[in-house]
Amino acid sequence: MIYTALAHIRDLVNQHFMNEFSAREKAVLSNIVNADGSIPGELQDKIVFFLVSLEEEATLKNNLNRSSNSKADTFAKKPPAIHFRLQLLFCANFMGDNYDEGLAYLSSLIRFFQINRVVQVPNRSGKDPNNTLSSKQQATSTAAQRLSFELCKLDYSELSHLWSAIGAKLMPSVLYKVGMVAFDDLPVSGIIPPIKETKGIT
């Protein structure tokens, strides 16, 4: 579900950039640095975003461990979904003469999320792109989500600590808190049949 949500955000931002700048594939979901500390060349002149952290939404931990099927009047017994809040960092990786262009894209990104504070992720099959889930897990996953975006403010020390942890030089960037992402790709452990009224013997 995390991959589905982030891929959808990437597609929305790319569509927005296409409409405003007629530019294709300017938003990229990727680490900003390689393991050796270098920046991949294919990320040059891109808005790069990635997952900084995720935390569980504690207020939703006591959900029931079943979901209903309205057509069959049955309940699927499964572990309860885990709800997360994500922190996403969007970086303008534009250097040299293209630095001002990067600021234009970053401003456009902020404007997009100011207008679209809540984004609806459409229903999908929930299939794992690496095909590591069983067919039963894939069939029972749910992907309908409403994602809310909140701009996070960082002071200089927090910003310095964040970029030190990333292992890259400071770039123009914005940090968003995104909620809620439900991790519900869990197998069904049983089916609870409907309760039917029985007529008494007369």
Q: pLDDT by residue (tens digit) across 17-56?
A: 999 999 999 999 999 999 888 889 999 999 999 999 999 8
Kindly tell me if the per-residue pLDDT of 179 is higher than 60. Answer: yes
Q: Does a structural domain hold residue 153?
A: yes
Contact 26, 110 (CB under 8 A): no
CA 166 to chain centre: 19
Q: How confident is the model at residue 143 (pLDDT cuts 50, 70, 90)?
A: very low
Q: Is residue 196 part of a domain?
A: no
Cβ neighbours for 68, distance < 8 A, ≥ 6 positions apart: 74, 75, 76
Q: Are 48 and 10 in contact (CB under 8 A)?
A: no
State residue 1's pLDDT score: 79
Instruction: Note whether residue 201 is domain-resident.
Output: no
Q: Is 195 domain-assigned? A: no
User: Does residue 67 carry a pLDDT above 80?
Assistant: no
Cα–Cα distances in Å, from 181 out to 2, 25, 26?
7, 24, 24
Model pLDDT, residue 183: 61
| Higher pLDDT, residue 201 or 54 | 54
Q: Name 57's Cβ contacts closer than 8 Å, sequence gap at least 6.
A: 83, 84, 85, 179, 180
Residue 87 contacts residue 173 (beta carbons within 8 Å)? no
What is the phi/psi pair of residue 126, to 5°?
Answer: 75, 15
Please tell me the total count of domains within the chain. Answer: 1
Taking Cα atoms as reference points, which of 112, 82, 108, 84 lies closest to residue 94? 108
Residues 137 and 127 sit within 8 Å (Cβ to Cβ): no
Q: Which residue would you say has higher pLDDT here, 1 or 108?
A: 108
Query: Across-strand partners of 47?
Result: 27, 92
The answer to whether residue 202 is domain-embedded is no
Is residue 188 scored above 50 in pLDDT? no
- Check residue 138 and give its pLDDT: 44
Tell me if 198 is assigned to some domain. no
Q: Is residue 138 part of a domain?
A: yes
Distance of alpha carbon 102 from alpha carbon 98, whole angstroms: 6
Q: Which domain holds residue 164?
A: 2-185
Q: How much is the pLDDT for 57?
A: 79
Give the pLDDT score at 144.
Answer: 55
In a domain, 149, yes or no: yes
